[in-house]
C-alpha cells in the first residue's frame, strides 16, 4: 500500500481540497489562513448542488423524484385533505432523505477504503436497508391515503365494465400478443419472446392487470387486488430492464400497449 493510501481520511480530503483550489466545488472555501466562513447563500447553494449531484448520478434518486411528482399530482387530482397531504409529504421527505444519506455513506466509504472490506459492505447494506424501509412505509402511506379516494372516483366507470365474460379477457390478451409481434416485425428488432420494441412480457403483465381491475367488483376488494396486480406487473417489467433484455422505453411502451389494448377491447365488446 502506498504512503498516500495510508494517510488518514482527513489528510486525503485536505489534499483533494488543495488541488481543487478556491473554485466552485471545493470541499471548503479557502485554504490555511485564508479560509473564510461560508455564507448562508453559499451553504444553500452547496446543498442544492448536492441534491443535483445525486439526481444526476443515482438512478434510484431519479425514480424517487418521479414517483414523488406523480403522488403529488394524484393528490391534487383526488383532492386529499390537509392532514393527508402532510402525511404524504412526510413520507416523501423520509424516502428522499434516506436515499441521500445512503448515497453520502456510499461516497464516504468509497473515499475511505481502496479495497474490499466486509465492514464497508455491511455499512452500505445497512444504509440501503434504511432506504428500503422508508420506501415500504411510503407505499403503505400512499395506499392508505389514496385507496378510498381512487376507489370512489372509479366505481362508476369500473362497474360499467365489471361483468365482462372471461372470453373478452382472453381475446384482449391474445390481441395484445398479436400487436406485440406485429410491432416487433415492423421495427425489425428482437424476437417474439426476447428483446426489441415493445416488451412482450410487460405488455402481457399490464394487460392482465387491466383485465383483473375491470372484472372485479367493489365487494371483492378491487382496489387492493388491482394494486397487487399492478405491483406484480411493475416487477415483471423491472426484471426485463435489470436483465438487460429491454430498455426502459421498450418496457414502458409495452406496458402502455398492453393496458391500452385491453381497455379498448373491454369498452368495445362489453
Instruction: Give Cα separations from 35 to 14, 20, 29, 107 (angstroms).
Output: 13, 14, 6, 25
**Set of cell numbers at residue 183:** 410491432
Q: Which listed residue (42, 49, 84, 99) is catalytic?
A: 99
152 flagged as catalytic? no
User: How many residues can be counted in the chain?
Assistant: 270
- Residue 225 and residue 219: Cα distance in Å, rounded? 11
Cβ distance 181 to 192 under 8 Å? yes
Distance from C-alpha of 25 to C-alpha of 48, rounded to nearest angstrom:
12
Chain centre distance of CA 115:
31
Q: Report CA torsion sign: 156, 158, 162, 165.
A: positive
- For residue 191, what are the β-bridge partners? 194
202 and 258 Cβ atoms separated by less than 8 Å: yes
Q: Which residues pair with 194 in a beta bridge?
A: 191
Q: How far apart are CA 174 and CA 208, in angstroms?
A: 11
- Active centre residues (catalytic): 99
Amino acid at each position: 500500500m502506498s504512503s498516500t493510501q495510508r494517510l488518514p481520511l482527513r489528510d486525503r480530503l485536505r489534499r483533494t481540497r488543495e488541488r481543487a483550489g478556491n473554485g466552485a466545488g471545493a470541499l471548503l472555501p479557502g485554504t490555511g489562513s485564508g479560509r473564510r466562513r461560508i455564507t448562508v447563500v453559499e451553504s444553500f447553494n452547496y446543498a442544492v448542488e448536492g441534491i443535483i449531484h445525486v439526481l444526476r448520478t443515482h438512478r434510484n434518486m431519479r425514480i424517487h423524484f418521479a414517483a414523488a411528482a406523480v403522488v403529488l399530482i394524484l393528490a391534487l387530482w383526488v383532492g386529499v385533505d390537509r392532514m393527508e397531504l402532510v402525511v404524504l409529504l412526510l413520507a416523501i421527505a423520509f424516502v428522499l432523505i434516506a436515499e441521500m444519506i445512503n448515497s453520502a455513506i456510499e461516497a464516504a466509504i468509497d473515499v475511505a477504503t481502496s479495497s474490499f472490506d466486509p465492514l464497508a459492505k455491511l455499512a452500505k447494506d445497512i444504509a440501503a436497508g434504511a432506504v428500503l424501509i422508508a420506501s415500504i412505509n411510503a407505499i403503505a402511506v400512499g395506499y392508505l391515503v389514496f385507496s378510498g379516494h381512487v376507489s370512489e372516483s372509479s366505481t362508476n366507470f369500473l362497474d360499467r365494465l365489471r361483468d365482462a365474460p372471461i372470453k373478452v379477457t382472453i381475446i384482449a390478451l391474445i390481441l395484445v400478443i398479436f400487436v406485440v409481434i406485429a410491432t416487433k416485425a415492423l421495427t425489425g428488432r428482437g424476437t417474439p419472446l426476447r428483446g426489441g420494441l415493445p416488451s412482450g412480457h410487460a405488455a402481457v403483465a399490464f394487460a392482465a392487470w387491466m383485465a383483473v381491475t375491470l372484472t372485479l367488483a367493489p365487494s371483492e376488494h378491487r382496489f387492493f387486488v388491482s394494486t397487487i396486480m399492478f405491483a406484480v406487473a411493475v416487477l415483471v417489467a423491472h426484471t426485463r430492464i435489470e436483465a438487460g433484455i429491454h430498455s426502459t422505453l421498450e418496457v414502458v411502451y409495452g406496458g402502455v400497449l398492453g393496458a391500452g389494448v385491453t381497455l379498448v377491447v373491454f369498452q368495445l365488446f362489453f
